[in-house]
Amino acid sequence: MTKNSTAISLTSYLDQATEVKARFEKLKKREVILEVKNLTKIYKTNKGETIALKNVSFKTHKREFVCIIGPSGCGKSTLARILAGLESYSGGEVLLDGKLIEGPSRDRGMVFQGYTLFPWRTVKQNVMFGLEMNGMGVNQAGPEAELWLELVGLEKFGNSYPHELSGGMKQRVAIARALVNQPRILLMDEPFGALDAQTRAKMQAHLLEIWRNIDITIVFITHDLDEAIFLADRILVLKAHPGEVMELIEVPVPRPRHLNQNNSVEFLATKARLEALIHPHEELEKTEEPITQRMIRFVNVADNVE
């Protein structure tokens, strides 16, 4: 691949190989699907007001894969919930296809961090749910649901109940359930957060595969830097207290992505930049209690493990 040629020229995460640059130019020429303008969210509690989000603005283009990343308390989940219409906001605008969003709707599908399959419905019935709610008959919804189950590779589990599935399978059903409605965008709020590392890696690759094959724009919330770089076209980095946009990073890692790119120059440069943004050294000491150890030895002086 082009790895050797780019390794020489790339020194910063801002440098892009020509094909990556061309891709981003093409992407930005696409229509804007989601536009967030000066979004502000203030929680009123007994102790006073907490600003969860402050003047957050960004645009997402059609079929883009955006990751939103930030330290805990940066309001990334709140942002996802506002986009889904599950939470109100205090100021600014959220526009989908140029129209203000009002409450939850089928044009913004969502996959949650927790498992939210309907336990009384079989896997297939879960996928059919959205179609039924939007007025499609069971006879029509059934084959449609099967098609999407096939897409996530669970066609054999159509008649199983959610409690019979593993965590990764449940999230695949949740993805199929959201996609069957053919939403304009798919919001994913740390969907793989509860999965083990291996399942997680498989799910990431699987998600990219789905994204490549269907007309969907994805907004993906995560706190995992590797996950964000692996998946995203662009990464929106938020800071905490209050939640503000720090930077919108264009990921220079070329597509299609593989796990073996994780040590590429582009990947590491991007990761270094994210680290610097999210875990700056001074910041850590200010906000978090450092772990202070006063070691007392409880074992024999001669009994060393290292």
Q: Using CB under 8 A, which of 41, 76, 177, 200 touches another protein?
A: 177
Nearer to another protein, 135 or 256 (CB): 135
CB of 43 to another protein, least distance (A): 18
Contact between 134 and another protein per CB under 8 A: yes
Part of the chain binding another protein (CB under 8 A), chosen from 99-107, 197-205, 226-234, 268-276? 99-107
CB of 177 to another protein, least distance (A): 7
Q: Using CB under 8 A, which of 33, 67, 96, 110 touches another protein?
A: 110
In whole angstroms, what is the distance from residue 69 CA to residue 227 CA? Answer: 10
CB burial of residue 52 (10 Å; 0-12, 13-18, 19+): buried
| Distances in whole angstroms, Cα of residue 159 to Cα of each of 151, 185, 285 | 16, 28, 52
Contact between 167 and another protein per CB under 8 A: yes
- In the shown chain, the binding pattern of residues 56 to 95 toward another protein, with x for contact by CB under 8 A and - for none, equals ----------------------------xxx---------
Part of the chain binding another protein (CB under 8 A), chosen from 129-137, 140-148, 281-289, 292-300? 129-137
Nearer to another protein, 18 or 88 (CB): 88
In whole angstroms, what is the distance from residue 80 CA to residue 283 CA? Answer: 25
Nearer to another protein, 108 or 257 (CB): 108
Contact between 138 and another protein per CB under 8 A: no
Q: Using CB under 8 A, which of 112, 148, 192, 220 touches another protein?
A: 112
Structure token digits, residue 164:
């019979």
- In the shown chain, the binding pattern of residues 194 to 223 toward another protein, with x for contact by CB under 8 A and - for none, equals x-----------------------------
User: What residues make contact with another protein under the rule CB under 8 A?
Assistant: 84-86, 103-106, 108-110, 112, 114-121, 129-130, 132-134, 161-163, 167, 170, 174, 177-178, 181, 187, 194
